[in-house]
Structure 1
Amino acid sequence: MLTSLYLKDFAVVSEADVAYGPGLTVVSGETGAGKSLMVDALLLLTGARADAGMVRHGAERAELSAEFDLVDAPEARAWLREAELDEGDGCQIRRVIRADGGSRAWINGRPATLAQLGELGERLVEIHGQHEHQALLSRAHQLALLDAFGGHQAQADEVRRLAGEWSAVARRLQALSASGDVADRITYLEHQLTELGDEALAAEDIDALLAAHKRQANAAGLIRGCESALARLSGDEGFSLDGTLRQVRSELARLLDDEPRLREVDGLLDSVAIQLDEAVAALERVRDSLDIDPERLQELEARLARLHDLARKHRVPLGGLATRRDELAAELESLRGAGEQAERLAREQSRLAADWHRAAQSLSALRVETAAALADAVSALMDELGMRGGRFVAELEPADTGSPDPQGLERVEFLVSANPGQPPRPLRKVASGGELSRISLAIEVAALGLDSVPTMVFDEVDSGIGGGVAEVVGRKLRALGAKRQVLCVTHLPQVAALAHRHYRVSKDVSDGATHSAVAALDQAARIEELARMLGGVEITRETRAHARQMLERGQAA
């Protein structure tokens, strides 16, 4: 439910902050005062494209903001949660339109796109009036409303579910067929795996191969280095590290009696001597293990060359060959069962298609009955709403689809004939805005309580009517307000008298500029406004008495 609407520097409105409540709220005012600006603001806040001309002359930007209570809007609450824009049980939509033509929007303080405004807006507000942006003009919405009116939403959901499952199976079958000739692919994969299987591809195996190749390629240098180190350690080159250590320990031994702390030094040198002997032994083992073997080097280079060739072929580094082998093995395993899988999926697809067709046929039978009932109900209401002899038709036509369709076997088109003798035409092509508004009202009243959108706005719904028909329109709007929040821009006192609350839009010209203001009316002010709407230039005592009587009767309805 809309709880407040704030406008600043919007068209002729300098600033207005309007609070709303449940039931029927009407907005009235003199021609040109800006009664429909609140409707325009709601359109912009729910995704309509902005026009820089809506910015008040002399201002840099127009600011619009609406706040909603989401207690009666579960679909909007779910959408906000999914979009991660939720903020408890409330929602604020804000939009700024700059004089240079740019605009920005926010949902609960977070930047939002126009598409997001539209998606959220269609779950919060439904606007009927002399404009093209109406949910009832959408054929998808018409079909959903027909299903809601007939109470067969569960059957529609089942049709949608089966169509979705059928499409998922179809995509899996398409993915299998996209792989081409399975037999050729299997042969190719087997060849690739044979090549890779002949090699040791584990990370430790490749590391060992690289180390062995490096060692063999540098064998001569390694041998020379080991022999040189041994010569230096053993004293073959004139200096012996081992001999020097023995000499130092011998000299320290003579000093031990005089300085006991030197025993620790002697112990450390003893450890050095042991480690030196171990180092010499290790060097000898390494030297003895090294061998200049051209054939071994050639073998290692050949193995490395094969691995590099495989890596280039499969476009992976050496270390990625094992992973690539496992991927090919997994694909091969999958393809070996592809034939059986395709047959199983084809059987599943046929079963789902048959189930969908049965469910869709059952839904179609229900829709035929519902279309007739909805047509009778709306046609009767059209007669009450001043379109005597008018006719409403919910025309079902086959859907041109070759596969299970989420919406079923048919589409619906709402057709209307506003006058006797005229053939019904699509609702979206009705020329008169007033007729379109009243037909929309008739549909909403016929489907009372079935629409999930919590707030409905009717702009000039009473255009072109008066007298008793105007009172009927007001009563229908009030009845609708018992189920949903209803906002109505009107110029008829018969409609205004039946509202739960009443706002007046007035304009004033000062300093060469027009200013509009919005005011909530109390009982006395409502009588004055109704009298203005009833009377002409001069409001008489009789006119006020009539207005008071009309208001009292309307509030008692």
Structure 2
Amino acid sequence: MLRELTIRDILLIEELDLDFHPGLNVLTGETGAGKSILLDCLGLVLGWRGRADIARQGASEGEVGAVFDLVPGHAAHAVLEEAGLPRDDQLILRRITSADGRKRGFVNDRRASGEVLRALSATLVELHGQQDDRGLLDPRGHRDLLDAFGGLEPLRDRVRSAWRALAAARKARIDAEETVARAARDADFLRHAVAELDAFAPEPGEDDRLDAHRRRMQMAGRIRDDVARAVDLMGGDGAEGRIAEAMRWLETVADRADGALDEPLAALGRALAELGEAQMATEGFLERLDVDPFELERTEERLFALRGLARKHDVLPDDLADLADDLRRKLAAIDGGAEQTARLRQEEAAAQAAHDAAAAALGAARREAAGRLDAAMAHELAPLKLERAVFRTDVSDAEPGPDGCDQVSFTVATNPGAPPGPLARIASGGELSRFLLALKVCLTGRSDGLTMIFDEIDRGVGGATADAVGRRLAQVAQASQVLVVTHSPQVAALGAHHFRVAKSVEAEVTRTRVAALDPEARVDEIARMLAGDVITDAARSAARALLAR
């Protein structure tokens, strides 16, 4: 329940502190006095999206605070817990807006986002304003309203889940059939391509291996003669022979050199051994350079064929093996397509049956809820002087979809025996307001601690009918807090608490003020609503008569 509303520097309000109470709170004032400003301020602190330039002209920032009393188990506690915010039996909201439109929100003195404020708002306040009529009169929204009235959201969620499953199963079946159809059109090509790739048997990395092997063989042909010449130079007719001959000459005279030739002979021996090792290694390399010209030809043919096959299929040579696997899968899809699509059709049929069952259960629940709504409306219309009118919720078949297979529309017959028709076309202006009030009362959640706000719900009616509207609002307010913005003296007179909104101009500055009225001031305000600017004694007497009812 809304307990306090404080406003600083918002639109035409410089400073305002209001205390609200349980029961019916009425706000009155001349047209243009600023009654809607209070709703704008409440919307700001509750995180509602609205105009950005709401700070009072000349002020650097504006601020709105609201205090709500929470009963035990109030739905706001769950929102606070999920957001990690402190919980208490009193909820303090505050929102600051700067002149450039930037906003900061606080919940129990902790920073909070607009999303959190809006989540709390859904548990605290229900606003029924003049803009609601379009939604209530539009048949496209009637199904959602009936579901909300009947508490059918869980059933509807199951239907939506079943519809998503059906859509997925249908898409899988269609995709499989299209894949099989495309593959079947290319079956001859696929079989030829798979046979060709299987026969060739390309391997990942084969292009690099073949290219490197070919370059080695080409290199061998170019360097073999040089390596062979080097082997000859190191052999018996070359370096080896000359070193051996030198050693023989030295050995013939070594015994007469007193040991001076021992070291040269040892060095020549070592050189001869190293030369032998070099010669053996070089000869081994030379043998490896012996290239089979047919092997080079085979390698080049394989490499060129590999690259030609890659160009043919517009892939890289290393991707040919993966291409072959993909083409085999497509062939398998052709061969096993009938079996797969049959299985997918069975899955789709099962999903269809599940959706049909869920939609049927939801449809039955909607028809039962429609009967309850019609009964609730009959109960609400009688106090509003529409006891002879008939309200009916029609539930008819519609194309299956995520919300079931039902179409819902609200119809009315205002006179006995008259055919029912759409609410917007059958009801007159005054009747329409009362029908909408009854609908809003029936469709309003009755959560404990909820504040219901009605913005000029009584427009277009007067006299006894306005009195009936006021009494219905007062009755609703017995179970919850109700705030009503009204121009009707009959409705205002039934309020338990009365606030007057007035606009004044002081020193060329326009300000809106709101005052709680005491009994005498309340008589004058209702008299003004009855008589206009000039309040007569007769108007005061009539006002006292209204208040005494």
TM-score normalized with structure 2 length: 0.67
1:5–1:19 Cα contact (<8 Å) kept: yes
Superposition map of 1:145-184 within 5 A: 145-150=145-150, 153=153, 155-179=155-179, 180-184=181-185
1:32 corresponds in structure 2 to: 32
Task: Summarize the Cα distance change of 1:287–1:357 in structure 2 as closer, same or farther, 3 Å threshold.
Answer: same
2:75 counterpart of 1:72: yes
> C-alpha offsets along residues 277-327 of structure 1, whole Å, 9 cap, x if unaligned?
988766654442234555433332332233323333444333333333333
Instruction: Output the CA distance in 1 between the equivalents of 2:126 and 2:39.
Output: 11
Superposition map of 1:337-416 within 5 A: 337-387=336-386, 389-399=388-398, 401=399, 404-416=400-412
Instruction: Output the CA distance in 2 between the equivalents of 1:59 and 1:170.
Output: 60
2:316 counterpart of 1:324: no
The amino acid across from 1:535 in the alignment is A
1:530 corresponds in structure 2 to: 522
Q: Among the aligned pairs, what percent are the same residue?
A: 33
2:477 corresponds in structure 1 to: 478
1:458 corresponds in structure 2 to: 454
The amino acid across from 2:371 in the alignment is A
Between Structure 1 and Structure 2, how many residues are aligned?
Answer: 496
> C-alpha offsets along residues 358-377 of structure 1, whole Å, 9 cap, x if unaligned?
55445444433432332232
Task: Summarize the Cα distance change of 1:526–1:423 in structure 2 as closer, same or farther, 3 Å threshold.
Answer: farther
Gaps of 5+ in 1: 243-272
1:32 is displaced (CA, Å) by 1.5
Instruction: Output the CA distance in 2 between the equivalents of 1:228 and 1:496.
Output: 123
1:301 corresponds in structure 2 to: 300
Partner of 2:404, secondary structure, is coil
1:347 is displaced (CA, Å) by 3.0
Instruction: Output the CA distance in 1 between the equivalents of 2:303 and 2:21.
Output: 81
1:212 corresponds in structure 2 to: 213
> C-alpha offsets along residues 94-120 of structure 1, whole Å, 9 cap, x if unaligned?
898999xxx88999999999xx99999
2:194 counterpart of 1:193: yes
1:416 is displaced (CA, Å) by 3.6
2:501 counterpart of 1:489: no
The amino acid across from 1:169 in the alignment is A
Task: Summarize the Cα distance change of 1:370–1:223 in structure 2 as closer, same or farther, 3 Å threshold.
Answer: same
1:444 corresponds in structure 2 to: 440
Instruction: Output the CA distance in 1 between the equivalents of 2:350 and 2:308.
Output: 49
1:199 is displaced (CA, Å) by 3.9
Task: Summarize the Cα distance change of 1:418–1:328 in structure 2 as closer, same or farther, 3 Å threshold.
Answer: same
Task: Summarize the Cα distance change of 1:531–1:22 in structure 2 as closer, same or farther, 3 Å threshold.
Answer: closer
1:40 is displaced (CA, Å) by 5.1
1:530–1:547 Cα contact (<8 Å) kept: no
Superposed CA RMSD:
5.7
Instruction: Output the CA distance in 1 between the equivalents of 2:189 and 2:94.
Output: 59
Partner of 1:198, secondary structure, is helix
1:3–1:21 Cα contact (<8 Å) kept: yes
Task: Summarize the Cα distance change of 1:538–1:133 in structure 2 as closer, same or farther, 3 Å threshold.
Answer: closer
Instruction: Output the CA distance in 2 between the equivalents of 1:452 and 1:206.
Output: 78
The amino acid across from 2:303 in the alignment is L
> C-alpha offsets along residues 212-254 of structure 1, whole Å, 9 cap, x if unaligned?
13323433345468679989999x999xxx9xxxxxxxxxxxx
The amino acid across from 1:534 in the alignment is I
> C-alpha offsets along residues 458-477 of structure 1, whole Å, 9 cap, x if unaligned?
21113224564144232244
Task: Summarize the Cα distance change of 1:474–1:185 in structure 2 as closer, same or farther, 3 Å threshold.
Answer: same
Which shows bigger deviation, 167-176 or 499-508?
Answer: 499-508
Task: Summarize the Cα distance change of 1:119–1:481 in structure 2 as closer, same or farther, 3 Å threshold.
Answer: closer
Task: Summarize the Cα distance change of 1:311–1:358 in structure 2 as closer, same or farther, 3 Å threshold.
Answer: same
> C-alpha offsets along residues 138-173 of structure 1, whole Å, 9 cap, x if unaligned?
545422332444455555444444333322221112
The amino acid across from 2:404 in the alignment is G
Instruction: Output the CA distance in 1 between the equivalents of 2:104 and 2:308.
Output: 57
The amino acid across from 2:36 in the alignment is S
1:34 is displaced (CA, Å) by 1.3
1:249 corresponds in structure 2 to: none
1:411 is displaced (CA, Å) by 0.7
Task: Summarize the Cα distance change of 1:144–1:132 in structure 2 as closer, same or farther, 3 Å threshold.
Answer: closer
2:378–2:387 Cα contact (<8 Å) kept: no
1:6–1:18 Cα contact (<8 Å) kept: yes
1:391 is displaced (CA, Å) by 3.2
Gaps of 5+ in 2: 244-271, 529-533
Partner of 1:393, secondary structure, is strand
1:31 is displaced (CA, Å) by 2.7
Instruction: Output the CA distance in 1 between the equivalents of 2:449 and 2:311.
Output: 61
1:428 is displaced (CA, Å) by 5.5
Task: Summarize the Cα distance change of 1:300–1:160 in structure 2 as closer, same or farther, 3 Å threshold.
Answer: same
The amino acid across from 1:348 in the alignment is E
1:36 is displaced (CA, Å) by 1.7
Partner of 1:30, secondary structure, is coil
1:127–1:135 Cα contact (<8 Å) kept: no
Task: Summarize the Cα distance change of 1:217–1:12 in structure 2 as closer, same or farther, 3 Å threshold.
Answer: farther
The amino acid across from 1:31 in the alignment is T
1:43 is displaced (CA, Å) by 7.4
2:517 counterpart of 1:516: no
Instruction: Output the CA distance in 2 between the equivalents of 1:145 and 1:294.
Output: 88
Partner of 1:507, secondary structure, is strand
1:509 is displaced (CA, Å) by 1.1
TM-score normalized with structure 1 length: 0.66
Instruction: Output the CA distance in 2 between the equivalents of 1:67 and 1:304.
Output: 83
1:130–1:434 Cα contact (<8 Å) kept: no
Instruction: Output the CA distance in 2 between the equivalents of 1:417 and 1:169.
Output: 45
The amino acid across from 2:142 in the alignment is Q
Partner of 1:32, secondary structure, is coil
> C-alpha offsets along residues 324-379 of structure 1, whole Å, 9 cap, x if unaligned?
33333444444533211222222333344345445544544443343233223213
> C-alpha offsets along residues 497-528 of structure 1, whole Å, 9 cap, x if unaligned?
77787665332213334222456x4xxx4546
Which one has a bigger Cα radius of gyration?
A: 2
2:497 counterpart of 1:505: no
Superposition map of 1:534-549 within 5 A: 534-536=526-528
1:211 is displaced (CA, Å) by 1.8
1:529 is displaced (CA, Å) by 5.8
Superposition map of 1:109-148 within 5 A: 127-131=127-131, 135-137=135-137, 139=139, 141-148=141-148
